[in-house]
Structure 1
Amino acid sequence: MKELFPLKQVMGFIFSLILTIVALAVYFFNMSFPFGMTVLLVTAFIQAAVQLVVFMHAGETEDKKSIYTNIYYGVFIALVTVFGTLLTMIWGYM
């Protein structure tokens, strides 16, 4: 019976709820903007990783190396796009 209980999924769900409560604390405790944004970004990235690994089963296939490589590539492209946009539109470099 123990092998039929989805302990990993339940723990992932509880951890996601805790991360959501931490993110809501930014609003309810009226934190400063820099500190609040830092907390929100950290909890968002951790929660995205939990969702990928636990609920989308990213590491449970035989080709998990290619799946993680594609995830790293996607994150890299997203960061280049965001910081490239900030560099040209806000910080004034062309």
Structure 2
Amino acid sequence: MSELFPRKQVMGFVFSLILTAAALTVYFLDMSFAVGLTVLIVTAFVQAGLQLVVFMHAGETDDKGAIYTNVYYGLIIALVTVFGTLLAMVWDM
């Protein structure tokens, strides 16, 4: 019976709740902008990775290398877009 219980999904859900509570502490503890933004960015990326691995089963297929490569590629494209926009529009370079 224990092999039928979705232990991995339940633990992923509990960890998602903990990460959400950690992100909510930024608002309730009235942290500084830099600390609050750092906490929010870290919890957001950890939670996105958790969702990808636990609930979307990214690592359970035969082509998991291709899936992770596409995720890394998308992350690089997003970072280049964000920092390129900051360079052009905010930092005037």
TM-score (norm 1): 0.98
Matches within 5 A, 1:52-91: 52-91=52-91
Match of 1:19 in 2: 19
The structure richer in helix per residue is 2
Shift of 1:89: 0.2
Q: Percent identical across equivalent pairs?
A: 73
Shift of 1:12: 0.2
* Paired AA for residue 72 in structure 2: Y
Q: Which runs of 4+ in 1 moved over 2 A?
A: none
Match of 2:31 in 1: 31
Shift of 1:55: 0.2
How many residues are treated as equivalent by the alignment? 93
TM-score (norm 2): 0.99
* Paired AA for residue 74 in structure 2: G
CA RMSD of aligned residues (A): 0.3
Any stretches of 5+ residues in structure 2 without a counterpart? none
Any stretches of 5+ residues in structure 1 without a counterpart? none
* Paired AA for residue 77 in structure 1: I
